[in-house]
Each structure stands twice: as structure tokens, then as C-alpha cells.
Amino acid sequence: MDQRVLLRRLRVHFLLLPLSEVAVLSDDRDPLPGTPREHWLVWQSLTKSAVTTRVPTDAGVLAGRLGLGRGAQGAAARAMLGELMAAIWQLRSV
């Protein structure tokens, strides 16, 4: 997603991977033991961090868990994440 921050364009990549789609090549069937398979792995490129959560979820809480700061870049990434979660909520409500 892109957003203008001050005089620059900020690009943040988000990866959302459903754990139910992850193939595990071992006896343990869970991709992340202790994490329900209906959760998703959410990664973003600004801080290069990932967490697991249900999707859609509260974007503000998710942004905090992902370590998105309070500065201009963090605020822009939070807004982008908010747009992304709103779009997912919209798709799920149809």
C-alpha cells in the first residue's frame, strides 16, 4: 500500500497468510504450535515484524502488536492497515 508522508511516498507491504493453508512436513500438523489454524500470519515491511491473529481484526491493536510507531511513518502504516482491515470486513460482510 502507498501513502504520501510529508514530501515522500511511503510504501508498506502487508502479507496475510492463513495458517490453515500452510503445509507442514512433519508429524506435528500445526504450523505454529499453540496457535489455532483459523488464525493468520500478518507480516508488514516497515518494521519487518509478524504476528498471528484472526482476520479481520482491530487494526489499532494489530498495529501495536506489529510495532508500528507513533511517528509519521508509523501513523501512515497504521492508516494503511486500517484501510486493509476495513476492506476485509467489507468482503466478509457480503
Q: What is the pLDDT of residues 35-74, one digit of tens each?
A: 998 999 999 998 999 999 999 999 999 999 999 988 888 8
Note the pLDDT of residue 73.
84
Q: What is the pLDDT of residues 65-92, one digit of tens each?
A: 999 988 888 888 899 899 999 999 999 8
Q: Is the pTM of this model over 0.85?
A: no
Q: How confident is the model at residue 2 (pLDDT cuts 50, 70, 90)?
A: low
* Phi, then psi, of 11 in degrees rounded to 5: -115, 125
Tell me how far apart the alpha carbons of residues 37 and 33 are, in angstroms, rounded to a whole number: 9
**Res 3 pLDDT > 80:** no
Decide if 32 contacts 52 (C-beta within 8 A).
Answer: yes
Dihedral of the CA atoms 11, 57, 83, 91 (nearest 10)?
120
